[in-house]
Chains A and B, each alone.
Chain A
Amino acid sequence: MVNMMSVLNPIYLKEETKQKVRKSFLHSAQSDFPAVLLKDFFNKNFYEELQKKVSSLHFTKNTVVLHHSYAASSFKIFSKELCDFLSFVTKKKIEEVNFTVLVLTWKDYQILNDKYLEKPGTDIVIDLTDAWDADWGGVVTYTDGKGTAYPLAPAGNSLALVERKKNLHKYIQYINHYGKNKKRMVLIATLW
């Protein structure tokens, strides 16, 4: 777990920015894909510390053939700054965030399976992978079940908020051989 004072990129602490993000997120609720993607989200030092701490966690390779293949761990962030920001944007009271950490390498994936469908909620997706090429796969993607896919563009130090409505589900694209010897690391949490 991480609890440090200076967590967010100062730009996201500005009232004007917070208002803009909240407006954008709440307004997107009417769209097919209600989401915001915030780049350069964390303070640079915090981001590097977060990458180190998360990388040093104990990961367990977890494969359910018809649903996923990846290594997973869990991680909590107790940061008033982060929780205040998320509470403000989502209008939900948030005091801590419990993340599932996923590490994906070549041949890993998460596919849709009726047995593992999640109930609607607000997803927080933190991307801890620098210089990841979307052509390698591993992209967290949402789909409405009608064939439309909404990929979250990979970007290290980004945080995405996705209002996962009924019939909107996420998967993680298969990582192909161009991602061999590379690691894709994401933190995912859901606010109910």
Chain B
Amino acid sequence: MAQNNWFNPEYLSEEKVKKLQATFAGNRPFPHLELAHFLKGKKIVELLQALGEQEFSPHRSDLFQFAQTADLLYTDDQVLKEFISVLSSPELLGFMKKVTDLKLNGKIDLFASIYQDTDYLLPHDDQVPGRKIAFMLYLNDLEEKDGGALALFESKNKNPTKIAKRFILKAGAFIFFEVSSLSIHMVEEILTDTQRITLSGWFYG
């Protein structure tokens, strides 16, 4: 299966999927999962090389400041096309459906983002009709001092109150969560002269 060329097969066995399903559903502050070393090292290098040829435009609003590509579904790059094909394959969709117990229709969005010194994404829930799962694939390592952590908020009476969990960027990690009114999250500000490079998007259903 093509996905075995890209993703760590350890995560894809039936037995493992059952465990992940329980972990995803039970994780707080809202259902989510972090799969370390999900993306194979060789593929990280290939993706980074492919993204080096893509155009990143600065994006700035009240909510965010970072650089992003256009929707990669329309790219001509062969590596990225293959990656999208694997990401939206029946095998990976089946994996995501089993782990999250959510109905997915095969539609995905995919963007690459680069956050540099002072870039950020303030708290929001990602809710747009049809979005079921938000995901991020990390393509480089950061340390705590660099900032750029993904932070998940806990909520009280449907109002986010404080950060409950943080994830420091580690190359190859795959993080995803169920999109809902509770899925409040942010990307903390980058604090050093470094880059935070990710592929991110949504599975629709």
Q: Is B truly associated with A? A: yes
Q: Which residues in A have their C-beta under 8 angstroms from that of B123?
A: 65-66
Known contacts: A65-B159, A65-B160. The answer to whether A178 contacts B118 by CB under 8 A is yes
Identify which of residues 160-192 in chain A touch chain B, using a CB-to-CB cut-off of 8 Å: 171, 173-174, 176-178
Chain A residues with a Cβ closer than 8 Å to the other chain, count = 19
Residues of B contacting A65 in the complex (Cβ-Cβ under 8 angstroms): 123, 153, 159-161, 184
Interface centre among A65, A147, A173 (most CB of B within 10 A): A65
Across the two chains, which residue of chain A brings its CB closest to B161?
Answer: A65
What total of chain B residues lie within 8 Å of the partner, measured CB to CB?
19
* Known contacts A65-B184, A173-B62, A174-B65; A109/B189 CB under 8 A: no
CB neighbours of A71 from chain B (8 A): none
B120 contacts A by Cβ under 8 Å: yes
With the chains together, A147 CA to B61 CA distance in Å? 8
A111–B62 contact, CB under 8 A? Answer: yes
Docked-complex contact B153 and A111, CB < 8 angstroms: no
Taken residue by residue from 47 to 87, chain A's Cβ proximity to chain B (1 for < 8 Å, 0 otherwise) reads as: 00000000000000000111000000000000000000000
Report if A18 contacts B (CB, 8 A). Answer: no
Assess whether B63 is interfacial by the CB under 8 Å rule: yes
Known: A66-B160, A173-B62, A176-B189. A111 touches B118 (CB 8 A): no
0/1 interface trace, chain B 117-155, chain A, CB 8 Å (1 if under): 010101111000000000000000000000100000100
Residues in A with CB closer than 8 Å to B161 are 65
- Complex Cα spacing A19 to B62, Å: 35
A109 contacts B118, C-beta separation under 8 Å: no
Residue numbers of B with Cβ under 8 A of A are 60-63, 65, 118, 120, 122-125, 147, 153, 159-161, 184, 189, 191
